[in-house]
Structure 1
Amino acid sequence: MTGSYGADETSVELATGLREFFNEHCGLDRVRAAWSDGSLDLALWGEVAALGFTGALASEEVGGLGVQPEDLVLAIEEIGYSGASLPLVDTAAVVVPIIERYGSAEQRASFLPGLISGERIAASTVMFGGDRAMFAAEADVLLLERDDCLHLLDRRQFSTVEVHSPDPASRLARVSVESSVLSDATRLAAGATDDARGRAVWAASALLNGVSRRMLEMTVDHAKTREQFGRAIGSFQAVKHLIADAWVAMESSRPCAWYAAHACSQGLADAAAAASVAKASASDAARVVGDSALQVHGGIGFTWEHPLHFWMKRGKLLEHAYGSRGFHLRSLGAAMRDDQQGSDAVFPGL
């Protein structure tokens, strides 16, 4: 794992601890089991919550660890790398810090203790009227965007219907909420929506980068051991080029997620643009790495017996979660048009 982009001691310790935990408790058999039965591994969820990760971004005053968003990026990568099917990103990176910052005293008292302890699970759908969320069926708490306002709901106030997904272990579901449920009592304070979107986007980017890193590692290992014409295929120039291009795409994407988290943490003016850059870069990297991985593995990469497809399918889901590559590139184009004089000639029709 490289971490030259602002990875301080706290960041490295969090990532190392989570990586060691998943190495011991979430091997391939457990990953495969989650995909086979399509249900949330509550035992694994409880074990991770016991580490304190669910409250990583909450302040110490409310029982959290009090770390900064940029310190969580490498740890979230480790979740993607591990293949664990857990609602950690929504709960830890989005819902808990948003409630603490924008919730009323009553909302904080009602929701935060259970979420930080791991007794309750959170899901979020915060992107411009979206109605789908991962792990929504298991969620006790939902962060919902409607009409550019953010609402905080408990399980009694929303219903879910499972929808098809390339990654059944991520439990994608459509969320339904009666309009009468949404009120001043459920609404969070002004500013919550943009903040939640930024957090969700950089966190999803970091998760996707971890998925890409695992796919690339599998590909390198395969290229070292698979032989053709009496030689390891990794010795062939064409294979070297595929893997090198994949590595460049992945390593170029990872610092973007870190900076997006930093910009979010510091409230920088370019936070929204940085999040879009991170997600577009992570989606590009996942596509390049996934395509290269499948080409190097050949037909075995399609099979249930080989683990590559778990990470490839999760990557395809995450490429479109919290805004696709195209969505974020359009957002960046619109931002540049608004910021630069005469940009109508450069970005016609935006």
Structure 2
Amino acid sequence: MDFALNEEQIMFQETTRQFLESKGDLAISRSYMEGNEQVSEELWDGLGKLGFMGINVPESYGGISLGALSLVPIFEEMGRAVVPGPYPETLAFAVPLLETYGSEAQKNAYLPQISQGKRKFTLAMEESGDKNSSPANIQTRAERRGEEYLVQGSKILVPHADIADTLIVPVRTGGSHSEYGISLLLIDTDQVSLELKTTQSMDETRKMFSVTFQEVKVPKTQLLGPENAGWPILQFGLYHLNAALCSTMVGGMDRTVDMATEYAKTREQFGQPIGRFQAVKHKIVDMKLALENARSLSYYAAWAVENNSEDMAEAVSMARSYTSEAYIDSAGSNIQIHGGMGFTWEYNCHLFLKRARFLENYLGSPRYHRETVASELGW
């Protein structure tokens, strides 16, 4: 099986890198962290004009009709630049869900806007005390009242809820603890009143919020998929989203290897570049080996979700568990190679370690994903 990028995907990668560099590369994230949210909006608008926001959107809705594998180079470049914004939640979560389970009205309403870079989605799933992402922890309720749902409850750790145009919200419409009774609602933030509260985040480029729903009225036409059967639909979307997150982590790892290698060539100690010391050489080689392992796993995970293969759950969780830990190790090694300066705000090393630590437990810890792999293998 050949996972090499084809000519079209290489073009996507090169164009994305050139565009991000023209906008300032890592300076984008730094500016965003310092409070300039406009840089994120300009970036989103620019990627929409380039057509990259419609890569996996069907042609009939204004997109290019490519799959998850064609998103890989885009997300890798975003990971290299630690780009802020709900790109994975929009492209790798909302689009596959809408395409597969959305009504025709929902597809017509949302997919063209996503393709044009005019609508952002995010996922509001986690609830207080939710450590294992089990169906029992989804207790935000949506009561059917005529042609509407009345939503009551709260969600935590919602990425970029302040700028998202639509929230995808798993709610309980029946039952109490089982998979049955969970439904997915599309809640447009400009149509309802929501209470948002900023949550402290390890990664300042990934703003997190708690969202409270106080008797929020949502039309029943905003139900995504069948009522009470939303859990498998949610899992389908999470496979796509986790595969995309692996690609962003691979991009970050690739950048840390480049940073460490370049610094080792130029930083001199005892009259020679530190890259000549065996300990530094070994550390960089270990980083490179981990990068290639992570890249292979992430490519296969993307292939698995694009082709809906039987081992999709296993492939995605295997990639997530390995890549999450490998990214932390790579980002940490990059700081160590840079020495004392690697810990300073002025150097960019900390951006990658913060992103790695944030993603470590986002949508499942490495341990959770290893347990998923073991379960899928029948162990």
* TM-score, normalised with respect to structure 2: 0.83
Tell me which amino acid in the other structure corresponds to 2:323. Answer: A
Structure 2 stretches lacking a partner, 5+ long: 127-132, 139-154, 173-181, 227-231
- The 1-side partners of 2:38 and 2:95 are apart by 20
> Aligned pair 1:166/2:207, yes or no?
no
The residue number in structure 2 matching 1:189 is: 225
1:328-343 paired onto structure 2 within 5 Å: 328-336=369-377, 339=378, 343=379
The residue number in structure 2 matching 1:255 is: 296
1:17 to 7, 11, 15: 15
Compute the displacement of 1:16 (Å): 1.6
Tell me which amino acid in the other structure corresponds to 1:29. Answer: A
The residue number in structure 1 matching 2:168 is: 143
User: What is the DSSP-based 3-state SS (H/G/I as helix, E as strand, rest coil) of the residue aligned with 2:221?
Assistant: coil
> Aligned pair 1:265/2:326, yes or no?
no
| Structure 1 range deviating more: 215-224 or 36-45 | 36-45
Compute the displacement of 1:181 (Å): 4.3
Structure 1 stretches lacking a partner, 5+ long: 344-350
Q: 1:146 to 1:38 in 2, by over 3 A?
A: farther
1:234 to 251, 275, 288: 275
1:10-89 paired onto structure 2 within 5 Å: 10-37=8-35, 39=37, 41=39, 42-89=41-88
- The 1-side partners of 2:335 and 2:26 are apart by 19
- The 1-side partners of 2:56 and 2:89 are apart by 12
Tell me which amino acid in the other structure corresponds to 1:109. Answer: N
Deviation per CA, 1:102-125, whole angstroms, max 9, x where unpaired? 111222222222222112211124
Compute the displacement of 1:159 (Å): 4.0
- The 2-side partners of 1:49 and 1:320 are apart by 29
| Structure 1 range deviating more: 146-155 or 210-219 | 146-155
The residue number in structure 2 matching 1:113 is: 112
User: Is 2:125–2:158's contact at 8 Å kept on the other side of the alignment?
Assistant: no
User: Is 1:216–1:243's contact at 8 Å kept on the other side of the alignment?
Assistant: yes
User: What is the DSSP-based 3-state SS (H/G/I as helix, E as strand, rest coil) of the residue aligned with 1:205?
Assistant: helix
User: What is the DSSP-based 3-state SS (H/G/I as helix, E as strand, rest coil) of the residue aligned with 1:169?
Assistant: coil
Q: Which has the higher strand share?
A: 2
The residue number in structure 2 matching 1:326 is: 367
User: What is the DSSP-based 3-state SS (H/G/I as helix, E as strand, rest coil) of the residue aligned with 1:120?
Assistant: coil
- The 1-side partners of 2:218 and 2:55 are apart by 29
The residue number in structure 1 matching 2:250 is: 209
Deviation per CA, 1:290-331, whole angstroms, max 9, x where unpaired? 121121111111111111111221121122222121111121
- The 2-side partners of 1:54 and 1:27 are apart by 19
- The 2-side partners of 1:40 and 1:150 are apart by 31
The residue number in structure 2 matching 1:285 is: 326
- The 2-side partners of 1:252 and 1:202 are apart by 15
User: Is 2:82–2:205's contact at 8 Å kept on the other side of the alignment?
Assistant: no
Tell me which amino acid in the other structure corresponds to 1:150. Answer: L
Question: What is the alpha-carbon root mean square deviation over aligned residues?
Answer: 2.0
Q: Which has the higher helix share?
A: 1
1:134 to 146, 149, 159: 159
User: What is the DSSP-based 3-state SS (H/G/I as helix, E as strand, rest coil) of the residue aligned with 2:327?
Assistant: helix
Tell me which amino acid in the other structure corresponds to 1:175. Answer: V
- The 1-side partners of 2:309 and 2:217 are apart by 34
The residue number in structure 1 matching 2:146 is: none
How many residues of Structure 1 are paired with residues of Structure 2 in the alignment? 335
User: Is 1:96–1:116's contact at 8 Å kept on the other side of the alignment?
Assistant: no
The residue number in structure 2 matching 1:303 is: 344
Compute the displacement of 1:182 (Å): 6.2
The residue number in structure 2 matching 1:347 is: none
The residue number in structure 2 matching 1:348 is: none
- The 1-side partners of 2:116 and 2:263 are apart by 40
Compute the displacement of 1:175 (Å): 2.8
User: Is 1:223–1:296's contact at 8 Å kept on the other side of the alignment?
Assistant: yes
Tell me which amino acid in the other structure corresponds to 2:167. Answer: L
User: Is 1:198–1:275's contact at 8 Å kept on the other side of the alignment?
Assistant: yes
